[in-house]
């Protein structure tokens, strides 16, 4: 089969398309014929060797795939050959024609969701769900600012928060991104490239501030976020690419908090709840993964370059 192989950590050039043997599922494992693989920012940090989780080399990137079950190992009961599934982590990597996943890493993909969309489920929607439900403990009638709403996690969070009954504000850095965030359900959208846009956000809350901020770039925004919070507000740090200094006094007066997590650290109970919630939302159409760009598997390097560039518009997926 064809697969992307990383033989050493490094730049885009280490992503090589190679011919390797198709793996066979052992007991408790599932072989998935991958029809689309989601590209996430952490894939690029992992490839560069700068991520907290370092895979053994050589490895094939990708936790998020969607496709059809090709074969199952002994003891697998959850799925059978022919079932449509999405993966939440894999054993052998989703940037390939076939991937092995543990039985518990495959989940049913509803018929109304395309494979491209299915490749955009786990990391983006799992993160949005954990951020809103578990971390922020969001409830209907609250206000949320999705700070970085045009990308994978942001579009997921906008759709989810809107369906939960929150008032949703989003930000994007291009007109295309702003239009997308509006289309996906945000009540108001702001340009995070424009000086003073934060004052515009405060203004639409009548000066009260927002209850929740889902932050995609904490090193740039966290200090200002603390000033945008309402009383008992909470910032949920999802993305961060450097250090930042904040004035804790901004939190004290508001009885506000900053919370943070990585999806790798959640409990199995939380993960089960997330999949149940996501599958229900996919089935009823409130969750609609946005595929911004489909690229052939051979263009994994281009996908890794573009995912870190400004101008996000949904997910980038690779098609084997």
| Residue 156 Cβ vs ligand NAP, minimum distance, rounded to whole Å | 8
Q: Which residue's beta carbon is nearest to the bound ligand NAP?
A: 151
**How many residues in the chain?**
320
Which residues contact ligand NAP by CB under 6 A?
40-42, 123-124, 127, 147-154, 171-174, 177, 192, 216-217, 220-221, 238-239, 261-263, 307, 310-312
| Residue 303 Cβ vs ligand NAP, minimum distance, rounded to whole Å | 11
| Residue 243 Cβ vs ligand NAP, minimum distance, rounded to whole Å | 15
| Residue 315 Cβ vs ligand NAP, minimum distance, rounded to whole Å | 7
Q: Which residues touch 237 (CB under 8 Å, ≥6 apart)?
A: 215, 218, 222, 258, 259, 260, 261
How far is 266 from 271, CA to CA, in rounded Å? 7
Closest to 140 measured CA to CA, from 169, 166, 168, 167: 166
What is the DSSP code string of 255-311? T-EEEE--GGG--HHHHHHHHHHHHHHHHHTS----EEEEEEGGGHHHHHHHTTSS-
Task: Name the residue nearer to ligand NAP (CB basis): 127 or 226.
Answer: 127
Q: How many CB atoms lie within 10 A of CB 27?
A: 10
Task: Name the residue nearer to ligand NAP (CB basis): 71 or 149.
Answer: 149
Task: Name the residue nearer to ligand NAP (CB basis): 15 or 216.
Answer: 216
Cα–chain-centroid distance for residue 196? 28
| Residue 146 Cβ vs ligand NAP, minimum distance, rounded to whole Å | 8
Task: Name the residue nearer to ligand NAP (CB basis): 149 or 186.
Answer: 149
Task: Name the residue nearer to ligand NAP (CB basis): 25 or 93.
Answer: 93
């Amino acid at each position: 089969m064809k697969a992307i192989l990383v033989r050493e950590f490094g730049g885009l050039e280490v992503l090589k398309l190679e011919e390797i043997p198709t793996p066979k599922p052992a007991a408790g494992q599932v072989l998935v014929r991958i029809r689309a693989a989601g590209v996430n920012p952490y894939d690029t940090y992992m490839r560069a060797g700068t991520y907290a989780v370092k895979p053994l080399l050589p490895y094939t990137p990708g936790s998020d795939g969607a496709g059809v079950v090709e074969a199952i190992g002994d003891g697998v009961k959850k799925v059978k050959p022919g079932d449509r599934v999405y993966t939440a982590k894999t054993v052998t990597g989703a940037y390939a024609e076939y991937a092995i996943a543990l039985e518990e890493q495959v989940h049913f993909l509803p018929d109304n969701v395309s494979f491209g969309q299915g490749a955009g489920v786990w990391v983006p929607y799992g993160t949005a769900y954990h951020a809103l439900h578990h971390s922020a403990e969001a409830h209907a009638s609250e206000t949320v600012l999705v700070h970085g709403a045009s990308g994978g996690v942001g579009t997921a969070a906008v759709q989810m928060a809107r369906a939960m009954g929150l008032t949703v504000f989003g930000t994007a850095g291009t007109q295309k991104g702003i239009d997308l965030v509006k289309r996906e359900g945000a009540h108001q959208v702001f340009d995070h490239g424009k000086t003073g846009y934060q004052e515009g956000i405060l203004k639409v809350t009548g000066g009260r501030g927002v209850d929740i901020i889902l932050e995609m770039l904490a090193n740039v925004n966290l200090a200002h976020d603390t000033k945008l919070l309402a009383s008992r507000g909470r910032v949920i740090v999802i993305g961060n690419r450097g250090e930042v200094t904040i004035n804790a006094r901004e939190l004290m007066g508001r009885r506000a908090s900053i919370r943070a997590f990585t999806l790798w650290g959640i409990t199995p109970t939380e993960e089960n709840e997330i999949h149940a919630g996501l599958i229900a939302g996919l089935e009823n159409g409130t969750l609609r993964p946005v595929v911004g760009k489909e690229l052939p598997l051979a263009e994994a390097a281009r996908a890794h370059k573009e995912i870190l560039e400004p101008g996000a518009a949904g997910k980038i997926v690779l098609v084997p």
